[in-house]
Amino acid sequence: MYSVLLESSAERDLRQLPAKEFWRIIEKIKALAETPRPPGCRKILGSESAWRIRVGSYRVLYEIDDVSQAVKIMRVRHRRTAYR
């Protein structure tokens, strides 16, 4: 079981979401504790430990630390702005 940590930037992103999207994304973030690399996740090019999952039109950008068994949520952004 991995621990899931939220960066302050991800908390800010989550607070700005509509309630329906917020709860969908929270469920996916919680699921990362059991499966940090779920089907459909992608490694972000140019980074050693950064990954992303899709949740509708939003992307959850996170890093996995297998040694300490931690998933650190970096950002939760709309797909238009997720990779800028």
Burial 61-74 (b: 16+ CB within 10 A, else e): bbbbeeeeebbbbb
CA 73 to chain centre: 5
pLDDT recorded at residue 20: 93
Q: Which two tokens stand for residue 47?
A: 């980074």
Domain definitions of the chain by residue range: 3-78
Q: pLDDT-based confidence at 47, cuts 50/70/90?
A: confident
Question: pTM for the whole thing?
Answer: 0.90
Q: Which CATH class is domain 3-78?
A: alpha beta
Q: Is the pLDDT of residue 49 over 90?
A: no
